Structure 1
Amino acid sequence: MRPVRLRNYLAYGSNDVLGAGSMAVISGWVLIFYTQFCGLSAGQAATIFAVARVLDAFASPMIGYISDHFGATALGRRFGRRRFFILAAIPLLPSFALMWLPGQSFWYYLASYVLFELVYAMEIIPFETLAAEMSSDYRTKAKFAGSRILFGQASAILAGFLPLWLIEALGRDSADTFFYMGLIFAVLFMVTAGMLYLFSWERHGPGAPASPPAGQHRSAGPLDALKALYRNLFSTMRIRAFRLHLGMYLGGYISQDVFNAAFTFFVIFALAGTTAVASGLLGTMYIVQFVAVIIAINLALRASPSRAYQVAAASFGAGALALIGLWVMGITAASHMIWLPIVLAGLGRGALNYIPWATYNYMADVDEIVTGTRREGSFAGVMTFVRKATQAAAVAGVGFVMQAGGFVSGAAQQSHGAILTIALLLGIGTVGMLIFGVFISSRFRLSPATHAVLMREIEHLRTGARTPTSLEAQAIVEDLSGWRYDQLWGRNPLVAEGQTGGDFGEPVNAGR
């Protein structure tokens, strides 16, 4: 395994300017842009997100599946089965700026949003596999995740403050603010994707052939290939650690998506603020998140990720409820008291951003002890689809609920019913998802200690062994994988079904 140097950590992490930066811009500003500056209703804006998710249900998993199998092609051998897609996406990333052109129709905004979402998936899914491709060490992967989230938080800070700076530079609050923001971020996306391509590499899974063995079944046509794709992807849900990981991920990220989508409206209409004030508050919150990530990295390296998750969720939930309390007491965004909930929310959100991505890097290891193969692309495809689908569902849900609550697009003032709806979304919607995530985290037992046991058992099974090194090791890997020990290393229905459909390569224990 090649040594991982500082430039590799920085290049890998910088690509989350696209991953987290674009999502921060979209979740924080696109609903405001569509409804307050482009004349779309909240329902039309929600429809854009819904249509994009239907298309992405096919695109994201397909990209992950293709990247897992792309190494057998000439282009895959030349540029890498993952890195080819990163290189190909670079000239398409300016599509982000096209989303923010003012004065267009509903159909234009629908098409431009879908285009960027497809380009995003094309680049991000292969990117998410590279930490596991470049190292198998727990601490190294944690550092990759930390670098990624630090860059992501830095880009989120920019997403928070940039509208404020542009409003001050342009001397007015207009749709042009968002277009210039889109241009700036599009340039950053291209630069960071180029750095990622130059300073990353790939590995082949141990024992996994580059192409299927002779005589192995292959899907005959597009329909069979699609069936094989989804069979492979749904099989990731049969890994217990991944199911729990997704639950924590959804609790932490959907809570933030709901909060982000409602926050600017809440500041403007409930706390008597402005777009510029909301921008400054978001930017400050993201600065606090940056600090929280640094703290969370140390906690994740030394302690249980689940305990750190629970503390972070409590802090974020307290911040959201404190904002509602300010509104109930009639305190406006101009009060200094606004900074307490902003700091509390930021501390919690930073850790919630880091912990799921830190634990994600180990999911392919848990899967390997079950299947005997490396399927980073499949897990990345599921993660990206789930992330984009849940974010769109959260933003769309906020839009539909706001419209049902009486929100009027473009209005300078909103009714009490509309403001109450926004407040309930910000409070109950956020805290409800956090409670869900905390419940799931109480069952998640991956830690530095259990991961070390997992990796030792993988090496033990690689020698041809069929029994565990100890009863304690057996209990740990069975808890993480959700399978009995005698079913591990390819001796289970999951691999048998995958081979029948042509989804898996030959397991590494073949013939033993």
Structure 2
Amino acid sequence: MALTGNFAITGTRPVRWYNFAAYGANDIMGAGSMAVISGWVLFFYTTFCGLEAWQAGLIFTVARILDAIASPLIGHISDNMSHTRIGQTIGRRRIFILAAIPLLPSFAIMWVSGQSFWYYLATYVLFELVYAMEIIPYETLAAEMGKDYKTKAKFAGIRILFAQASAILAGFLPGMLIEALGEQSADTFLYMGILFAVLFMVTATLLFLFSWERTPAEVAAIRPDGDKLSLWQAFRALYANLFSTLRIRAFRLHLGMYLGGYISQDVFNAAFTFFVVFALAGTISTASTLLGTMYIVQFVAVMIAITMALRSSPARAYQLAALSFAIGVIVLLAMWSAGVRSGSMLLWVPILFAGLGRGALNFIPWATYNYMADVDELVTGRRREGAFAGVMTFVRKVTQSAAVAGVTAVMSFGGFVSGAQVQSEQAINTLALVLGIGTIAMLIFGVLVSLRFRLNAQTHQVLMTEIDRFKAGGTGTPDAATVAITEDLTGWRHNQLWGRNPLG
């Protein structure tokens, strides 16, 4: 496929099955790498690398501080590369994806055992920067390639289905490798890293070949040449521009739901493997089987959530998902308290409830994210997909780091001893408290936010109709219902929309 042939008029080029598939498959890297890291890297660091829990948490923290600069900068640059020759030839988004492909083996070198703290810090930071370089432009492409509500929902759905498939692999693969290499072999994780690095390169290549974005002419029509900034001006305006996205009401609420759903899973994932091994008297293989089964259930849950999000309210689907996940956590802890241990078939009950909830919680925020640039366009008259992707990725990484750092700090305070075959009763009770209170508190937060989120298929159609009216010159007077809906979604008075505000 010729590079220049990928440029087409957005909204009129048909999205074929292979475009959906290539877009979705790339989340094998996006979510797959995070599933592997959240499920296994803490256990790997503390069991096979000689790191203390607080050192593992520090690696996450340092990486996120550096990413606080890198992720928003990548989003900002990609929004403004349409004025450059390389951006006009290859694409302002897709050039980043192309450049990241040869760097993706950085994921594999994270999993070499027996190295120093500085080695693990450097390799983790390197992969995180490569990850941001690829995933931020990727997250803009659904909004670039699709215009209507259903197409964007399908993009989100296929993406999360691939994400859950990669999570299944991340759950089961260590157990399969353990059977071949032995319970105490650190090579289990190295081989897993190599396999995933190869998958990342393949799926990123497919994404580059079978995706497209807005033409330079379309971008110029949305953002005229007069808006171009010098490099220094752009850098000075970077954070003001990016965090102005937080002045879009729908995006603020979306972030609250996103954080509630994802941080709850971060806390659960960080503690779960330790909980299975030390509280339930299981093994790494047992934890691998339980995680893999949970991810299979999540895969099914995503398909259910796609239907619910299209036919009902995303907020209502989110609330039901949070309830299911909370039930799973409560039942798991109740069984542990009652003496249920590894090997009992009863453990499949909480795994089922947790998986159903987690799958939907993974899908819904990314389904609603694809419409945030539409809400922003009504406010500013511009398309800033890159800015929103940068903030999303930055917030995701910072909060995941905070969750992991918090879990490791509490574990250390509770008496957890790295490398020990058996943990004290105090350490095990601390793990249970982290798993229960941390997870459920974040779910409650997300549900409270979702009660105020009113973007759905009907309100999105009103939004897009109002954008079309402004594009046509703003003739006519919107009815009271349209004014109410647009003001609720944007957080701005109707007479301030379409650039008549400080953001525009």
Identify the TM-score tier after normalising by the shorter chain: over 0.9
Letter in 1 for 2:298: Q
Answer whether contact 1:72 1:210 (CA < 8 A) is retained: no
Answer whether contact 1:468 1:485 (CA < 8 A) is retained: no
Q: 2-side partners of 1:392 and 1:214: how far apart? A: 39
Q: How do 1:63-102 residues align onto structure 2 when only pairs under 5 Å count?
A: 63-102=74-113
Letter in 1 for 2:448: F
- Cross-structure match for 2:8: none
Q: 1-side partners of 2:413 and 2:476: how far apart? A: 59
Answer whether contact 1:316 1:344 (CA < 8 A) is retained: yes
Task: Name the SS for the 2:111 alignment partner.
Answer: coil
- Cross-structure match for 2:70: 59
Q: 1-side partners of 2:260 and 2:217: how far apart? A: 34
Answer whether contact 2:223 2:382 (CA < 8 A) is retained: no
Q: How far has the Cα of 1:75 moved from its partner?
A: 1.0
Answer whether contact 1:468 1:474 (CA < 8 A) is retained: no
Letter in 1 for 2:376: D
Q: How far has the Cα of 1:227 moved from its partner?
A: 2.4
Q: 1-side partners of 2:397 and 2:103: how far apart? A: 19
Q: How far has the Cα of 1:113 moved from its partner?
A: 0.1
- 1:146 counterpart = 2:170: no
Q: How far has the Cα of 1:214 moved from its partner?
A: 6.2
Evaluate the alpha carbon distance shift between residue 329 and residue 468 of structure 1 in structure 2; reply closer, same or farther with a 3 A threshold. Answer: farther
Q: How do 1:333-412 residues align onto structure 2 when only pairs under 5 Å count?
A: 333-412=342-421
After superposition, the C-alpha distances for 1:457-482 in whole angstroms (9 at most, x for unaligned) are: 11111111166421101100110000
- Cross-structure match for 1:501: none
Answer whether contact 1:24 1:156 (CA < 8 A) is retained: yes
- 1:289 counterpart = 2:298: yes
After superposition, the C-alpha distances for 1:176-232 in whole angstroms (9 at most, x for unaligned) are: 1000000000000000000000000001599752797566573463xx433211011
- 1:167 counterpart = 2:178: yes
Q: 2-side partners of 1:284 and 1:379: how far apart? A: 33
- Cross-structure match for 2:444: 435
Q: How do 1:309-324 residues align onto structure 2 when only pairs under 5 Å count?
A: 309-324=318-333
- Cross-structure match for 1:242: 251
Task: Name the SS for the 2:220 alignment partner.
Answer: coil
- Cross-structure match for 1:424: 433
- Cross-structure match for 1:510: none
Answer whether contact 2:222 2:381 (CA < 8 A) is retained: no
Q: How far has the Cα of 1:172 moved from its partner?
A: 3.3
Letter in 2 for 1:218: L
Answer whether contact 2:222 2:382 (CA < 8 A) is retained: no
Answer whether contact 1:35 1:45 (CA < 8 A) is retained: yes
Q: 2-side partners of 1:146 and 1:318: how far apart? A: 25
Answer whether contact 1:467 1:485 (CA < 8 A) is retained: no
- Cross-structure match for 2:17: 6
Q: 2-side partners of 1:20 and 1:197: how far apart? A: 18
Answer whether contact 1:64 1:381 (CA < 8 A) is retained: yes
Q: How far has the Cα of 1:330 moved from its partner?
A: 1.1
1:298 to 291, 301, 307: 307
Q: How far has the Cα of 1:341 moved from its partner?
A: 0.2
Letter in 1 for 2:95: F
Letter in 1 for 2:52: S
Letter in 2 for 1:86: I
Answer whether contact 1:205 1:374 (CA < 8 A) is retained: no
- Cross-structure match for 1:123: 134
Letter in 1 for 2:401: A
- Cross-structure match for 2:28: 17
Task: Name the SS for the 1:158 alignment partner.
Answer: helix
Task: Name the SS for the 2:498 alignment partner.
Answer: coil
- Cross-structure match for 1:483: 492
Q: 1-side partners of 2:247 and 2:466: how far apart? A: 20
Evaluate the alpha carbon distance shift between residue 206 and residue 358 of structure 1 in structure 2; reply closer, same or farther with a 3 A threshold. Answer: farther
Q: 2-side partners of 1:181 and 1:219: how far apart? A: 44
Task: Name the SS for the 1:201 alignment partner.
Answer: coil
Answer whether contact 2:97 2:134 (CA < 8 A) is retained: yes
- 1:473 counterpart = 2:491: no
Q: 1-side partners of 2:270 and 2:227: how far apart? A: 49
Runs of 4+ residues over 2 Å off in structure 1: 204-208, 210-221, 224-227, 466-469
Q: How far has the Cα of 1:392 moved from its partner?
A: 1.5
Answer whether contact 1:207 1:373 (CA < 8 A) is retained: no
Mean alpha-carbon deviation: is it higher for 328-337 or for 430-439?
328-337
- Cross-structure match for 1:35: 46
Task: Name the SS for the 1:218 alignment partner.
Answer: coil
Letter in 1 for 2:389: A
After superposition, the C-alpha distances for 1:289-312 in whole angstroms (9 at most, x for unaligned) are: 000000000001111000000000
**Identity of aligned pairs, percent?**
70
Answer whether contact 2:82 2:219 (CA < 8 A) is retained: no
Q: 1-side partners of 2:221 and 2:474: how far apart? A: 25
- Cross-structure match for 1:265: 274
Q: How do 1:190-201 residues align onto structure 2 when only pairs under 5 Å count?
A: 190-201=201-212
Q: 2-side partners of 1:327 and 1:206: how far apart? A: 61
Q: 1-side partners of 2:394 and 2:227: how far apart? A: 29
Answer whether contact 1:63 1:381 (CA < 8 A) is retained: yes
Task: Name the SS for the 1:93 alignment partner.
Answer: helix
What TM-score do you get using the length of structure 1 for normalisation? 0.94
Q: How far has the Cα of 1:400 moved from its partner?
A: 1.0
- 1:276 counterpart = 2:285: yes
The answer for unaligned runs of 5 or more in structure 2 is 1-11
Q: 2-side partners of 1:216 and 1:248: how far apart? A: 33
Q: 1-side partners of 2:231 and 2:279: how far apart? A: 58
Answer whether contact 2:149 2:457 (CA < 8 A) is retained: yes
Letter in 2 for 1:62: L
After superposition, the C-alpha distances for 1:106-150 in whole angstroms (9 at most, x for unaligned) are: 000000000000000000000000000001110000000000000
- 1:184 counterpart = 2:195: yes
Answer whether contact 2:222 2:383 (CA < 8 A) is retained: no
Evaluate the alpha carbon distance shift between residue 220 and residue 145 of structure 1 in structure 2; reply closer, same or farther with a 3 A threshold. Answer: closer
Task: Name the SS for the 2:340 alignment partner.
Answer: coil
Evaluate the alpha carbon distance shift between residue 3 and residue 212 of structure 1 in structure 2; reply closer, same or farther with a 3 A threshold. Answer: closer
After superposition, the C-alpha distances for 1:40-86 in whole angstroms (9 at most, x for unaligned) are: 00010000000000000000000000000011111111110000000
Q: 2-side partners of 1:421 and 1:315: how far apart? A: 24
